[in-house]
């Protein structure tokens, strides 16, 4: 296999693109995909500082790396979920990454905001762990962006993540979730930061290759609570379809964004108001995070 660009021995074959690249040209390809994502969805302007949500995994650290290389002013945001060794190690990876590159890392602890770390939240609520955790992360990301003056939060969601989420929404036809499936969620309220996913054109395998080639030290272990998660089962299904037909994931996600998503956008938008308890945006009176925190407090008094 030869690199499509220079004819050298290829380091990576990308079947869905019917292409192969040597290491330097793969990195070039990777950055170009990020630039294309940013350009096409007008994710950020070149002057805008970006808050990059980092978990210590390959995707978010690869994202942070690209954004720094592309010349954006960034800071990292690490959300400490309090998940035993997993959180200790993943925080250490983020701190090492930030200090090696002279970048600021903001750390927020779920325990401080919620009254308990995720393993306790998991025990006292009936919600699936990933659901309560996802809710907490979205809440804290937005809160940190507002507190530190960032208009945009970038997350490391890749093509596989996005396709798996879409697959889950489609299997149940969650018509409220479908219009929110997008690489760019604009701010619809002064207290809501824009959320962008600049890696949505790149597969998990590609972000892993990029992180490896760039010498990024990331946490390899999955979150211990992710085992058996539906999203992983859906990724498996999609991997099998991709194996049989390269490009299947891409076509599924991009076809949705181009052809189907518009059909699900509601004529009347959702009206956001400020939570009566914390002041962050919500569609009700009390936001879901405050409700969950209240539930945790009552169930597990400290």
Binding site for a copy of itself (CB under 8 A): 170-173, 175, 233, 237, 240-241, 244, 248, 251-252, 255-256, 258-260, 263-264
Cβ(51)–Cβ(154) under 8 Å?
A: yes
Question: Vertex 49, ends 145 and 131: CA angle to 5°?
Answer: 35
Q: C-beta of 34: minimal distance to a copy of itself in Å?
A: 24
What distances in angstroms separate CA 123 from CA 7, 26, 116, 132, 231, one per listed residue? 55, 44, 11, 11, 21
Residue 172 Cβ vs a copy of itself, minimum distance, rounded to whole Å: 6
Residue closer to a copy of itself (CB basis): 125 or 251:
251
Comparing CA positions, the residue from 199, 168, 162, 148 lying closest to residue 41 is: 199
Whole-Å CA distances, 70 to 79, 101, 178, 198: 24, 14, 31, 12
Rank residues 39 and 172 by Cβ distance to a copy of itself and give the closer one: 172
Q: Which residues contact 174 (CB under 8 A, 6 or more apart)?
A: 168
Q: Least distance (Å) from a copy of itself to the CB of residue 246?
A: 13
Q: Provide the 3-class DSSP secondary structure of residue 43.
A: coil
Nearer to a copy of itself, 8 or 265 (CB): 265
Q: Decide whether 149 or 262 has the Cβ nearer to a copy of itself.
A: 262
Tokens of 82: 């309090």
Query: Using a CB cutoff of 8 Å and minimum separation of 24, what contacts does 132-137 make?
Result: 132/292, 133/81, 133/225, 135/288, 135/289, 135/292, 136/79, 136/81, 136/110, 136/289, 136/292, 137/53, 137/79, 137/81
- C-alpha count within 13 angstroms, C-beta hemisphere, residue 189: 16
Q: Based on CB atoms, which residue is closest to a copy of itself, 258 or 268?
A: 258
CB of 161 to a copy of itself, least distance (A): 17
Q: How far is the CB of 251 from a copy of itself (least distance, A)?
A: 6
Name which of 49 and 179 has its Cβ closer to a copy of itself: 179
Contacts of 24 (CB under 8 A, 6+ apart): none
Distance CA 294, CA 289 (A): 8
The least CB distance from residue 233 to a copy of itself, in Å, is 6
Pick between residue 126 and residue 172 the one whose CB is nearest to a copy of itself: 172
Closest approach of a copy of itself to the CB of residue 259, in Å: 5
Q: Smallest distance from the beta carbon of 166 to a copy of itself, in angstroms?
A: 10
Would you say 220 or 233 has its CB closer to a copy of itself? Answer: 233
């Amino acid at each position: 296999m030869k690199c499509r660009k220079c004819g050298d021995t290829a380091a990576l074959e990308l079947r869905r693109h019917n292409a192969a690249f040597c290491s330097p040209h793969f990195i070039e390809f990777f950055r170009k995909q990020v630039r294309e994502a940013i350009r096409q969805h007008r994710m950020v302007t070149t002057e805008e500082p970006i808050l990059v949500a980092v978990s210590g995994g390959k995707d978010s650290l690869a994202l942070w790396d690209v954004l720094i290389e592309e010349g954006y002013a960034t800071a990292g945001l690490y959300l400490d979920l309090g998940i035993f060794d997993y959180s200790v190690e993943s925080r250490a990876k983020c701190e090492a990454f930030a200090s090696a590159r002279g970048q600021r890392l903001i750390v927020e602890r779920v325990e401080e905001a919620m009254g308990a770390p995720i393993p306790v939240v998991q025990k006292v609520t009936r919600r699936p762990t990933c659901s309560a955790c996802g809710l907490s992360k979205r809440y804290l990301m937005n809160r940190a962006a507002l507190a530190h003056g960032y208009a945009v939060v970038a997350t490391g969601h890749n093509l596989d993540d996005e396709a798996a989420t879409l697959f889950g929404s489609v299997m149940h036809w969650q018509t409220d979730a479908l219009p929110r499936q997008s690489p760019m969620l604009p701010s619809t309220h002064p207290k809501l930061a824009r959320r962008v996913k600049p890696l949505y054109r790149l597969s998990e395998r590609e972000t892993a290759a990029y992180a490896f080639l760039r010498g990024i030290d990331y946490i390899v272990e999955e979150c211990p609570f992710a085992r058996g998660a539906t999203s992983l089962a859906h990724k498996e299904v999609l991997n099998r379809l991709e194996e049989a037909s390269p490009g299947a994931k891409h076509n599924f996600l991009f076809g949705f964004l181009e052809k189907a998503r518009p059909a699900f956008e509601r004529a009347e938008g959702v009206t956001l108001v400020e939570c009566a308890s914390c002041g962050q945006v919500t569609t009700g009176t009390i936001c879901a995070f405050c409700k969950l925190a209240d539930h945790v407090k009552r169930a597990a008094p400290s």
